[in-house]
Structure 1
Amino acid sequence: MDVTGEPHGTELVARERSGHTALLEGGFLYVWGGYVAVGDDEVFLPSDEIWLYDTQSALWQTHRMEGEIPPPMSGTCGSSLNGHMYIFGGCDDHGHTNQIYYVNLLDGKYTWRKVTNSKGLSPTPRDKLSCWVHDDRLIYFGGYGHKRLGEINDSKSFIVDEASWVEEVFWGWNNEVHVFDSRTNTWSEPPTQGILPAPRAAHASATLGNKGYICGGRVVETRRCDIHCLDLESWTWTEVIPTSTIPIGRSWHTLTAVSDSTLFLFGGLSVNCEPLSDGWTFNIQTKEWKELEHKHKNKPRLWHTACLGKDSDVIVFGGSQDYILLVDKGHCNDALVFQTQPYSLQRLCEDCIGRNARMLQTQLSLLPSKLMQIIQKRISFFRIAKRKSGKRTG
């Protein structure tokens, strides 16, 4: 096994990792970057390759990348905009960065471009931040990074990590909002109003319409599960007060918009530094949390990624199953599928045929060719799932 991938029989599988970027475009999950523990060392994974996971067939492929390739890093913030993957910030072998790169995911060339001619003042170096996408703009919030004394404008927007102060460089958490307009390559920092969330990092975020939501994260010495909403047009913050029992505080979790009114939370690291495997939905209209029963209760994850797939499925990839700051040996490379909404009759039929392909093999040849292509992918998906669970394939 090498650091780029490992063969399982004749199949290629992406290397396990944490702190990576993953986006879903056209039925494929694109995975880039992150790091893994090799022996006693933390190794950043190659930045000149990208992995594609077919969410319908569960098959992997990999492609080399060209152009202005970013350094290998983790903790970067990845976003999808008009078929392009943008990454900003992160930590590499030289420390934290505030550079922004992008790559076209749809032309098959995978050529990186570095944004070098941007206007306006870019954010200071940071990682473990989040991003909302709205109106061709990338809107970044929070994170952990460093500033010099002259860059600290407001103690309410930047909390110094007293344990990490070095000479005139101050490390800490922020609650800043920075906007990158992809049409003009311009940075701006709009003034916000309302009830601002506390500075934080390793939180989770999701976009619903013209609203950006954040949930939880590391706030100095504690971890929370509070929810805040930012109107991405008026730049007004609102704290969302739940009407039900709330999940325990956490960081390094994910938040995914699965409908026009529902957010899905999964995993993370608890206040007591325990890896979590619980899943919750939050209704933004009723402000109610509900725990979601799922089949991955034995698979805790933190610093993983989560993307919205077909039929409101959430695809979770990678992350760690241990508290990485103490153990750092439990990186994962499996893709977990969470069903958050009832499936359509067509989806139920496709999955039924895929699960029972051997029993139905004499009838499969009667299917129309287009439908057959779909069914072949579902057969592959369930074949791989059965093999991983130790069952006989059908």
Structure 2
Amino acid sequence: MLCWTISKAGGPKRACHAAVAVRNKLYSFGGYCKTKDNMDQMMDVHVFNTVSLCWKKLPPVEHGRGDGHLEVPSMRYGHTGVLIEDTVYLWGGYWEVFYNVLYAFDVDAHRLFKPQVSGTVPEKRCYHSACVLGKAMFIHGGCNSGYTNDTYKLDTSTMVWSVINTRGTAPPVSAGHSATIIGTKMFVFGGCDRGWLWGQYYNTIRVFDTETNLWMSTPSAQLLPGGRWLHSAFTYNGELYIFGGEKNNWTFNEVWKFSPETFSWKKVEPKGKGPGPMQGRCCCMVGDHIILFGGYKDRVTTPTDDLYILDFSPSLKTLCKLTVIQYGLDQSELPHNIRWELVAMTTNNNNNNNSSGHITGTGEVEEEWGNCKKSFIETCEQVLGYRKSERKDWIADDTWQAIEDRRDLKAKGNREPDREKKEQWRQEYQQQSRIVKKKTKRDKRRYVNDLACEAEVAAGQRNMKDLYRITSQLAGKNRTISRPVKNKEGKLLTLETQQLERWREHFHKLLNRPPPEITPEISMVPNKTMKINCGRISKDEITRAIKKLKAGKAPGVDNISPDILKADPKATTEVLYHLLNNIWDTEVIPTEWKTGLMVTLPKKRKT
């Protein structure tokens, strides 16, 4: 069941921008923003966290060539972006001039740069399509002074461009179409051939086989969506979906589904309140969710800042939250995390054109830390499991049941918020503790008597081996004997009072030394500027810190011991890298890291 679940405003106002999804984040690059002052700047990068539902703007990068081939692209729209491994490749676009320079964005380092390429570079253009198959990026169509239908390929393993000499009947020249990879085939839909007011708009599907470089002949579908351009396209479970688009200044907000197996279209009606008619939106797939944002209604209006999420498989939890929001139900009795999620779903962002780069809320760091902690704990539970306590043989089954009952009473008392009921549970716990102690003494007495009888039988039979074994069991582990204490003359002290007095003398002399006769001269350290790296945290720094942790230490409130982190420093570094840099950028520390753990050590009273 398709369902529109979230609608939020307050993001960057952009249209015809480029965006990719990387794990639980969306990265948006550039786009048309109506204001000329903004368009004359360097390309900006906005990040949307799909967990906290917050936008942030990355700090601007200096323009220049101080870092090898570093060069930040200027603001533009009509360009494309694709993700290959951990690198986003940006190409083409337009703002007063057309572009054909390839730029790359390192997702881990948050760095834009210009890689060196070779081969046959495509002509400058915008409103083309780009899609990925393996490590290759395919570029098709687009426009500059005219319109084209050529196809290019960039092999990112060698960074070589090549023009594809296609076979078969190619699609007509167009721009603003979509190209989507399903399997090894590229499906091209829509587009316009002569401009947005007087051109021809296409509504047919054309299929390109990337293995044979053949434009395949395709059957005609009976039911077709209207012709359009600047629509959004994505795939889910091997089927192609399109949303929105524009034709002759008339925009759409319908969702269509195309099945490659039957080569047929079907109009889809998602549940919930979806976006209005829109063109130039970006869409990204995150799990079972499609996230659409940006775009504009027509060529005259300002780009929008809203965001919508289309859920292909909404969970019962999601549906319940939507019901709470729809009917305005009371949230006071809900768990804290559910209330936080409801606030995130209904609160608009406040991050338009924010250049500070800080996150609008602290929930992102909290949620990311929760995901990291969950991955550590769940991995340990699956691989190691919990330590099983050894059950002593001499304790009877009814005694073990009494112990379990006492444990349940303690847990109920700890969870009870009411003081009077909490006191009742405490009294029941004390009564159950007396029963446990009584039964334990009974079992211990029975166990010792049985061992004594066995020892008596073994002694009568002169079975020294069994007699020694039984005696060892009764005696228990060997107790350490305190070391002897001697006085200054080397004489052994046997009385406890004499030993304590000797210890007093020792520490009095040790801790009450006279000051040194010669005071050392310590020269003042010259005031030098120390070179301290205040940039983002590197993976090497995290790995070194993990290796320096002391093993065998008790875990804190997160139940993660240093031994877990040191088991695989490389994997731990990958898990913590994004979290620690997020904390460094936002200066927000997870609440759990500020919580101390106080452990009471009960001691027996002196009689």
Q: TM-score band (shorter)?
A: 0.5 to 0.7
Task: Return the letter of the residue paired with 2:93.
Answer: G
Instruction: Please report the TM-score for the alignment, with normalisation by the length of structure 1.
Output: 0.68
Deviation at 1:195? 3.0
Aligned partner (choices 129, 132, 136) of residue 180 of structure 2: 132
Instruction: Please report the TM-score for the alignment, with normalisation by the length of structure 2.
Output: 0.46
Q: Does 1:43 align with 2:91?
A: no
Task: Return the letter of the residue paired with 2:149.
Answer: N
Label 1:298 to 1:273 Cα distance change in 2 as closer, same or farther (>3 A).
farther
Label 1:114 to 1:2 Cα distance change in 2 as closer, same or farther (>3 A).
farther
Aligned partner (choices 46, 63, 72) of residue 115 of structure 2: 63
Pairing of 1:71-90 with structure 2 (within 5 A) = 71-90=123-142
Structure 1 unmatched ranges of 5 or more: 37-41, 147-159, 165-170, 301-320, 322-331, 387-394
Aligned to 2:164: 115
Aligned partner (choices 201, 219, 225) of residue 173 of structure 1: 201
Aligned to 1:226: 254
Label 1:385 to 1:223 Cα distance change in 2 as closer, same or farther (>3 A).
farther
- Secondary structure in 2 aligned to 1:257? strand
Aligned partner (choices 78, 100, 112) of residue 151 of structure 2: 100
Q: 2: CA distance between counterparts of 1:78 and 1:102?
A: 10
Pairing of 1:359-370 with structure 2 (within 5 A) = 366=549, 369-370=569-570
Label 1:69 to 1:194 Cα distance change in 2 as closer, same or farther (>3 A).
same
Q: 2: CA distance between counterparts of 1:26 and 1:380?
A: 20
Label 1:295 to 1:73 Cα distance change in 2 as closer, same or farther (>3 A).
farther
Deviation at 1:230? 0.2
Task: Return the letter of the residue paired with 1:17.
Answer: R
Aligned to 1:153: none
Aligned to 1:7: 62
| Conserved 8 A contact 1:77-1:87 | yes
Deviations along 1:105-146, one digit per CA (max 9) or x if unpaired, are: 2x1x31101012x21100111111112211200000001114
| Conserved 8 A contact 1:194-1:238 | no
Q: 2: CA distance between counterparts of 1:76 and 1:294?
A: 35
Deviation at 1:63? 0.7
Q: 2: CA distance between counterparts of 1:111 and 1:384?
A: 36
Aligned partner (choices 300, 307, 314) of residue 279 of structure 1: 307
Q: 1: CA distance between counterparts of 2:581 and 2:77?
A: 26
- Secondary structure in 2 aligned to 1:127? coil
Label 1:59 to 1:124 Cα distance change in 2 as closer, same or farther (>3 A).
same
Pairing of 1:130-209 with structure 2 (within 5 A) = 130-146=178-194, 164=198, 171-209=199-237
Q: 2: CA distance between counterparts of 1:256 and 1:3?
A: 24
Task: Return the letter of the residue paired with 1:30.
Answer: Y
Deviations along 1:5-61, one digit per CA (max 9) or x if unpaired, are: 96269675443221111111112111112122xxxxx1122x2x4222122331223
- Of Structure 1 and Structure 2, the greater strand share is in 1
| Conserved 8 A contact 1:128-1:202 | yes
Deviation at 1:227? 0.3
Deviation at 1:191? 2.2
Aligned to 2:275: 247
Deviations along 1:245-294, one digit per CA (max 9) or x if unpaired, are: 2211110001222224x3211111025723111111113457x9989568
- Count of matched residue pairs: 315
Q: 2: CA distance between counterparts of 1:121 and 1:176?
A: 14
Deviations along 1:67-93, one digit per CA (max 9) or x if unpaired, are: 01111111110000121000000112x
| Conserved 8 A contact 2:180-2:233 | yes
Percent identity over the alignment is 23
- Secondary structure in 2 aligned to 1:22? strand
Structure 2 unmatched ranges of 5 or more: 1-39, 44-59, 323-343, 376-534, 550-564, 588-607
Greater gyration radius? 2
Task: Return the letter of the residue paired with 1:130.
Answer: S
Aligned to 1:268: 295
Deviation at 1:96? 0.9
Q: 1: CA distance between counterparts of 2:581 and 2:73?
A: 17
Q: 2: CA distance between counterparts of 1:348 and 1:59?
A: 28
Deviation at 1:372? 3.6
| Conserved 8 A contact 1:195-1:239 | no
Label 1:298 to 1:67 Cα distance change in 2 as closer, same or farther (>3 A).
same
| Conserved 8 A contact 2:369-2:579 | no
Q: Aligned Cα RMSD in Å?
A: 4.1
Q: Does 1:19 align with 2:70?
A: no
Aligned partner (choices 211, 214, 223) of residue 242 of structure 2: 214
Q: 2: CA distance between counterparts of 1:101 and 1:188?
A: 17
Q: Does 1:54 align with 2:54?
A: no
